[in-house]
Amino acid sequence: MSTSDVKVEFPVEVKTENETVVPPVVNIPPNLEQNIVKQLGFYFSDTNLPYDKFLQNEIKNDDGWVKIDVLLTFKRLASLSKDPAVIAQAVKNATDSILEVSESGDKIRRKADSVVPVADQEFLNEMIARSIYCKGFPKTATMDELLEFASTFGDKIITKVTPRRLKTKEFKGTLYFTFSTKEEAEKFLKLESVKYKDVELERKWEKDFLEEKKKEYEDKLAKKDQKIKAETEKYFKKGFLLKVDNVDESVTVESIKTICSGFEWQVAFVKIVEAEKLAWIRLKPVKAAKDLLEEVAEKVNDLNIKFSIPDEEVEQTVLNEMTKEMKGVLNMKDKMKREKNRNKGGKRYNKRKNDDGNSNNKRFKANGN
């Protein structure tokens, strides 16, 4: 008989002359009962409930109560038993649970004296302060295997297992263990050796790991900025900018390029500023703009548009604007490239998360792979 087939018979009151006799409830296998209470305990725990938007919405509707039928839509709980009566009886039998069952027997909530923490930065920092980053698990490890491993360190010692996953939801082989107290986390970290299936696990405070990832992220940005700076310094040199006046609606980028081509000027970029009826030509750093303009002085006088060399201050302002625009283009290309790589794994997942601690929730924006 599978655990999903376990049934509970509700007691039926039988009255005698002197007392009311309540027949015993059908027993639930102890291990099943413990697993049900443990799973429900996770859903309503301090480490999960404050961040579970779905459950947060549910508990607002009915004084903290959540229908068991709703909870049974969570895959991990349903894998233990699909019978609401079994779920209710397991909670009733638990002596040290933070949960309680409604009189109707079809709802569960945290006990009234168990206040749900507010998911603010202070609470997140406190949770991170008692969490350990671990690396070295096989990428094929299942959530059940990870939870079973966590349980070997004691009952309720590790209160949350958070696997780190790729956008494709594949396990990275790294995770966070959140401990009941910082002292328990310290004990775990000080262990001489922690192995998973004969593989030594790399361990460090989550806070330290996040700082390392933040540093990597900042270094990456700095390297990227340096690359962009080198590119802009290469192309945006002083002395290669021309100003074009009398630019009316008939003048286009292509028509300006055609004129420049006739003068054998090597053009890198043309920008028309319609509101000011002018344009800017950024020449390739081959020959100075002043020299080129002097070579064709007589020819340019016959044109409707007028070429000139901007003063140094104006030139620097325009080059700064062009540099900023180029950075924006390069950043956009980089962003599109990253999005393309992310989408190679398939569509994004929009299903409810955290059903069993299997969360893609980023604790920190610089949290890398």
The residue type at 117: P
Instruction: Indicate whether 287 belongs to any domain.
Output: yes
Q: What gap in Å lies between CA 73 and CA 363, rounded to an integer? A: 26
In the chain, the largest separation of any two C-alpha atoms, in whole Å, equals 125
Q: Mean pLDDT per segment of 10 residues, for the chain of length 369 residues?
A: 47 47 56 91 90 92 93 95 94 90 94 86 93 97 94 92 93 96 97 96 97 94 84 81 94 95 93 94 92 90 91 92 83 77 44 44 37
Domain C-terminal end among 214, 248, 264: 214
Domain C-terminal end among 56, 77, 110: 110
Q: What gap in Å lies between CA 91 and CA 100, rounded to an integer? A: 7
Instruction: Indicate whether 364 belongs to any domain.
Output: no
Domain shared by 48 and 70, yes or no: yes
Instruction: Indicate whether 359 belongs to any domain.
Output: no
Instruction: Indicate whether 224 belongs to any domain.
Output: no
CATH number for position 315: 3.30.70.330
Domain C-terminal end among 56, 80, 110: 110
Q: Is there a contact between 72 and 78 (Cβ–Cβ < 8 Å)? A: yes
Q: Is there a contact between 302 and 286 (Cβ–Cβ < 8 Å)? A: no
Domain shared by 204 and 276, yes or no: no
State the total domains in the chain: 3
Domain shared by 64 and 129, yes or no: no
Instruction: Report pLDDT for 341.
Output: 62
Domain shared by 160 and 98, yes or no: no
Domain shared by 323 and 251, yes or no: yes
Three-state SS string over the chain comes to: CCHHHCCCCCCCCEECCCCEECCCCCCCCHHHHHHHHHHHHHHCCCCCHHHCHHHHHHHHHCCCCEEHHHHCCCHHHHHHCCCHHHHHHHHHHCCCCCEEECCCCCEEEECCCCCCCCCCHHHHHHHHCCEEEEECCCCCCCHHHHHHHHHCCCCCCEEEEEEEECCCCCEEEEEEEEECCHHHHHHHHHCCCCEECCEECEEEEHHHHHHHHHHHHHHHHHHHHHHHHHHHHHHCCCCCEEEEECCCCCCCHHHHHHHHHHCCCCEEEEEEEHHHCEEEEEECCCCCHHHHHHHCHHHHCCCCCEEECCCHHHHHHHHHHHHHHHHHHHHHHHHHHHHHHHHHHCCCCCCCCCCCCCCCCCCCCCCCC
Instruction: Report pLDDT for 25.
Output: 52
Instruction: Indicate whether 228 belongs to any domain.
Output: no
CA-CA-CA-CA torsion sign (95, 96, 102, 106): negative
Place of tokens 């959530």: 143
Instruction: Indicate whether 59 belongs to any domain.
Output: yes
CA-CA-CA-CA torsion sign (38, 40, 41, 42): positive
Instruction: Report pLDDT for 10.
Output: 45
Domain shared by 22 and 98, yes or no: yes
Instruction: Report pLDDT for 105.
Output: 92
pTM for the full model? 0.61
Instruction: Indicate whether 157 belongs to any domain.
Output: yes
Instruction: Report pLDDT for 342.
Output: 58
Instruction: Indicate whether 343 belongs to any domain.
Output: no
The residue type at 49: L
Domain shared by 100 and 148, yes or no: no
Q: What is the extent of the structural domain holding 194?
A: 121-214
Domain shared by 189 and 262, yes or no: no
CATH number for position 27: 1.10.10.10
How far apart, in Å, are the Cα atoms of 61 and each of 47, 67, 354?
21, 11, 21
Q: Token digits for 244? A: 């074009």
Domain shared by 104 and 126, yes or no: no
Domain shared by 313 and 255, yes or no: yes
Instruction: Report pLDDT for 118.
Output: 86
Domain shared by 156 and 94, yes or no: no
Domain shared by 7 and 106, yes or no: yes
Instruction: Report pLDDT for 252.
Output: 95
Instruction: Report pLDDT for 332.
Output: 83
